[in-house]
Amino acid sequence: MGFNERNDKWFYGSYGGLRKQDPWGRFLSNHLEYRYFINGRGGDGLTLSKSLSIEQRNELKNYWSFGAELKMQFAAYNDEDVFRDERAWVYQSETEGYGILWFQTDKRKKLILRPYLGYGQGEYRPWGYRAGLNLRFRPLNNINLMIKGVSGLGTKSMEWVGIEEDSIGTNIIYAESAALMNDIQVRFNWTLPQILHLKHFFSRLC
């Protein structure tokens, strides 16, 4: 089940991958996947989004793992601001890319760490980054503590500001933007068999 976020849209998607699960060399398994999606609006057939994602994961014989992912958004058209004000522009979006590298410690251990680092840039917008650490601690089978922390810089070359009118005419205003983001999430699960299940969640975004 699902829902459409708006009416009169078309969508195309393709997904595939390769998987090797027979151990070889230092590896237990290897995975390579791709996802390609296009969507647009009906009527004029305007393409609103074209994205490609390629992900590669590897698990070693010591149960550590590592991988990388590349995400591309190709030039299309953006009409989201028309829903703010019908006088806004339908503008051509830029081609932009984002890459991420990560590794994870032994998944059999009570403490599992997964740091990652990502970098992105577009044709016109400045570079941005995202760095984070996921931590999972299982002192007992029925106790699970998860902490996720992330810090990043997000940038845009076309950020909606507003529309102003003067004696000369109507001014549609866009600007470059940059936003720093820091977020931490804490989840704690404690299961008492056949009696009680406790789950606590905390999140802070700044």
User: What pLDDT, on a 0 to 100 scale, did the predictor assign at position 25?
Assistant: 95
* Range of weakest confidence among 43-47, 131-135, 198-202: 198-202
Paired with 163 in beta bridges are: 172
Residue 166 pLDDT greater than 80, yes or no: yes
What local confidence, expressed as pLDDT, does residue 192 receive?
Answer: 77
Query: What distance in Å separates the CA atoms of residue 75 and residue 95, rounded to the nearest whole number?
Result: 5
Residue 32 has pLDDT above 80, yes or no: yes
Between these two residues, 158 and 33, which has the higher pLDDT value? 33
Per-residue pLDDT tens for 140-156? Answer: 888 999 999 999 999 98
pLDDT at 4: 61
pLDDT, residue 109, reads: 96
Residue 75 — pLDDT band, cuts 50, 70, 90? Answer: very high
Please determine, for residue 3, whether its predicted confidence score (pLDDT) is greater than 60. Answer: no
Please list, in sequence order, all residues whose beta carbon lies within 8 angstroms of the beta carbon of residue 110, skipping any fewer than 6 positions away: 137, 138, 139
Residue 70: is its pLDDT beyond 70?
A: yes
In this prediction, residue 167 has a pLDDT band, given cuts at 50, 70 and 90, of confident
> Tell me, what's the pLDDT at 8?
78
20-40 average pLDDT score: 96
- State pLDDT tens for residues 89-148: 888 999 999 999 999 999 999 999 999 999 999 999 889 999 999 999 999 888 999 999
Tell how far CA 144 is from the center of its chain.
25
pLDDT at res. 88: 85
How much is the pLDDT for 206?
Answer: 65
Higher pLDDT, 43 or 57: 57
